[in-house]
Chains A and B, each alone.
Chain A
Amino acid sequence: MRVVTLETEDDFDGWRDVVRGLVLDHVPPDQVVWQVGDEHGELFTGQVPLAPPSTGAFSVPRPFIDLARNAILHTDRERFALLHTLLVRLRDQPKLMEDQADPLVRKLEGFAKAVRRDIHKMRAFVRFREVQDDGGTRYVAWFEPEFHIVRANAAFFVNRFATMRWSILTPALTIHWDGKRLTEGLGASKADAPDGDPVEAVWKTYYASIFNPARVKVGAMLKEMPRKYWKNMPETALVPALIASAQARESEMVATAKTKIVPGGNIQAAWEALREEAMNCTRCHLYKHATQTVFGEGPVDADLMFVGEQPGDQEDLAGHPFVGPAGQMFDRAMADAGVDRARAYVTNAVKHFKYELRGKRRIHSKPDAGEITACRWWIDQELALVKPKMTVALGATAARSLFGKAMTIGRERGRVLELPDGGAAWITVHPSYLLRLPDEDAKREEYAKFVADLKAAAAAM
């Protein structure tokens, strides 16, 4: 056994000088005990002391030096020996550094990576406090690094704060810059660092204000700012309260927004702009074949909103909803139900006509789930603007769009339902269904049921 004593935990130069000799003398890594300072005291006194090392040089690849410089700053006791082992292997396999999948290379890369991260976090999380001393203003920070990185990191702070006088105190080492020279001192304790700096309160104000309560992502925060660093960062004291109040603040944002919308505000203008935007929609392929987007119509402050399936042949040409045969049927039923048609907002779940060409005739074809989902964007916007007291889905397609899932008309018909975003809804058949019924009796019966639905929905508001 040989015992090697390095001066400090981050003594890369010392390690390099010794290890060079060990490799030249073919001393196997398991025959060496590395220690730092006098940490083991008398423990190894019975062992053979280190013989004067052979001198000489050999070259190692640059990536090894870069790796070793960082890995040596790690706290793992094995790091000196592991690097020694890697160096020995490198003599036989000079390209070993390029084999990043090699277990030993990986392990040491892991050390180096952890060290680089700690170096980066120190650059980020050191918090200076301003104090006055005999020489004037000095900035002093207390920091607790995980690894032996302070000396290696000093140049960064010198370069950044070259004209300031500053000190960074850590448990193992303190460093001081007076504007010209960097000096070192023994480790310190937290009590040696000043506390209180009026600017800290301003910084906390900034931290609390720049956070958007509508986007809480605690996991993402913790990944980059692990708790072990928190105790020396003043702003982190705010975190629990910020998270706890986030949901309330977000609801408040939405609630104030809701109350501020006054009729006669910009809703009409907003609706017109929305309609115009919808004219250029390409969210699904249906726009390619239809004549135009057929947007909803009616008073934007309507209490009642009717949602049909999609424009038909006549609507597609006219650019208005509910003008074809089904629309006329709807108007008649509204009149029979005693509901003011002019006071209702009418629109469709899908805004473009979908059809199949049969000869020269365009035959209506049902929009599929993808098209309904794509077009839902518009109906959501219309709902957000009009905010009807009651939304009536005419037929399965409309129901699917409003509820975001398939609904069975037979089962859901005849009572008030709640929309996913809140708001009351009613489901009934589409008027075109009445047109298609072949049997006159059934037609009369279904028509009466439809009228009753319209009446009941209007009454339930």
Chain B
Amino acid sequence: MAQLDTRQKLEILADAAKYDASCASSGSVKRDSRGGKGIGSTDQGMGICHAYAPDGRCISLLKILLTNSCIFDCHYCINRKSSNVRRARFTTDEVVQLTLAFYRRNYIEGLFLSSGIIASSNYTMEQIVEVARSLREDHDFRGYIHLKTIPDADPELVHQAGMYADRVSINVELPTVSGLKRLAPEKSATQIEGAMAATKADILDTADAKKRYKSAPRFAPAGQSTQMIVGADAATDRDIVGRAAGLYGKFGLRRVYYSAFSPIPDASAVLPLKRPPLMREHRLYQSDWLMRFYEFSPQEVADAADDTGMMPLDIDPKLAWALKHRARFPVDVNRAPREMLLRVPGLGTRAVGKILAARRWRRLSLADIGRLTVSIAKIRPFLIASDWRPVALADKLDVRTLVAPKVEQMELFG
């Protein structure tokens, strides 16, 4: 077989990475390349998306696999042993050079490296770590690095990964244990959670050391994240939200990514061949936001689901929650506590902050609120302002039709 050149390998190994949802380069420490020998910088806030793909997803990192060969046979995975896809493998130096070449041209914020498992978990993990080591030590690269760790690799290797990377992640893969058993028979939920626990301990240890010695190295300063596939097992949205809440709580994860299961070429018979439930994925992300930024408890989010445990697809979960708890509305923008303002459908965290600041000086009218939000029409039924009281409106049974967006065509060829 002819040797594949880098570009051909990239075609195969980026293609294989496209099912991974995480892309962000956010939440690390502040670094720049002044006074160094290499290139790169990160800030503490949001990462930069350098382009957007036609699937609407941000391209921030060079997201590739080291190899798409794998000794495992997970059914949902295009790289599984029994799949007929074309295989390729980068050398560690190829990945390093590609990352640097893209970075210098300002195409990316850094690297997100994952891999199929070749030879053994430890061998694969060593190769992943070597890429990061070379970038950091040989090339003084100060951009972002996210490494996918292999759950049953030697903890010492995982530890090294965290010393070079801004973020590490291990995928929980499926929201239910029975789903994992069916679709990833060689993986175990216990092992995956064990690895997450170890990473959490590493992060806490080094954060602690950092407090005492300024020079102590940082372990994965952007924390750890995970991903689960939605729509390939029987989990309901309520199950998924519950699972995510458990992971946030137990392992202090920064992010849980949801990846709508998508048809893959050469799929295993275990999987249905359906269009991915993109809107469902979107609703799950919105639910996740409610927990992370809007102070909703997991129970409250689950409460937005219908009898079968699924989030409504036609309205967002916050609106669904509000419609189920009409008695708590309308909310007086001039008096309500922050917690209650955050529960108003259509009112974002920033708008809430501005309302709280402004009302210390004067009473706010509906027009004032209108200037702080995108669309007042949607919010109006839920608010009381100095010149506005919607009693009749909020009690109307058809409030849902009033505030729900027109049924959109699913997000295709928008």
Seen from chain A, the residues whose Cβ lies within 8 Å of a Cβ on chain B are 95, 98-103, 106, 120, 123-130, 139, 141, 156, 158-164, 197, 199-203, 205-222, 224-225, 233, 235-236, 239, 242-243, 246, 250, 252-254, 256-258, 260-261, 265-267, 269-270, 273-274, 276-284, 370-371, 373-374, 377-378, 380-381, 384-385
Contact = CB atoms under 8 A, between A and B. Distances in A.
Contacts of A211: 18, 53-55
Interface stretch (B32-40, B123-131, B211-219, B294-302): B32-40
B239 interface: yes
Interface residue SS majority, chain B: loop
Given A197-B105, A224-B49, A210 B17 contact: yes
12 contacts: A95-B360, A159-B34, A160-B33, A160-B41, A202-B101, A207-B51, A211-B55, A212-B18, A212-B57, A266-B269, A281-B234, A374-B309
Contact of A129 (B62, B105, B278): B105
Given A162-B36, A217-B278, A253-B263, A266 B270 contact: yes
Nearest to A374: B308
B91 interface: no
A273 B7 contact: no
Contact of A210 (B39, B53, B371): B53
A197 B102 CA distance: 11
B54 A380 contact: no
B117 interface: no
A210 B40 contact: no
Contact of B106 (A141, A215, A222): A141
Given A257-B266, A266-B268, A277-B178, 4 more contacts: A159-B32, A214-B275, A283-B309, A374-B308
Interface in B5-44: 6-7, 10-12, 14-15, 17-19, 32-41
B264 A257 contact: yes
Contact of B413 (A212, A243, A273, A274): A243
A199 to B, nearest CB: 5
Contacts of A280: 176, 178
B267 interface: yes
A158 B35 CA distance: 11
A254 B273 CA distance: 6
A377 B307 CA distance: 15
A276 B183 CA distance: 12
Interface in B395-412: 411-412
Interface of B: 6-7, 10-12, 14-15, 17-19, 32-41, 48-59, 62-63, 75, 82, 84, 98, 101-102, 104-107, 176, 178-179, 181-183, 185, 233-234, 236, 239, 260, 262-273, 275-276, 278, 306-309, 354-355, 357-358, 360-362, 364, 368-369, 371-372, 411-414
A120 B265 CA distance: 37
Contacts of B56: 215, 217-221, 224
A217 B411 contact: yes
A367 to B, nearest CB: 12
Given A205-B11, A277-B182, A212 B176 contact: no
Nearest to A107: B371
A127 B106 contact: yes
Nearest to B232: A381
A315 B269 CA distance: 28
A95 to B, nearest CB: 6
B55 A212 contact: yes
A243 B52 CA distance: 13
B48 A124 contact: yes
B414 to A, nearest CB: 3
A218 B54 CA distance: 5
B6 to A, nearest CB: 7
A209 B54 contact: no
A253 B6 CA distance: 25
Interface centre among B40, B51, B265, B361 (most CB of A within 10 A): B51
Contact of A256 (B18, B35, B265): B265
Interface centre among B106, B239, B267, B270 (most CB of A within 10 A): B106
A257 B267 contact: yes
Contacts of B178: 276-277, 279-280
A124 B104 contact: no
B50 A125 contact: yes
Contacts of A279: 178
Contacts of B59: 207, 210
Given A99-B358, A139-B104, A270-B270, A209 B33 contact: no
B32 to A, nearest CB: 4
A120 B49 CA distance: 9
Nearest to A158: B34
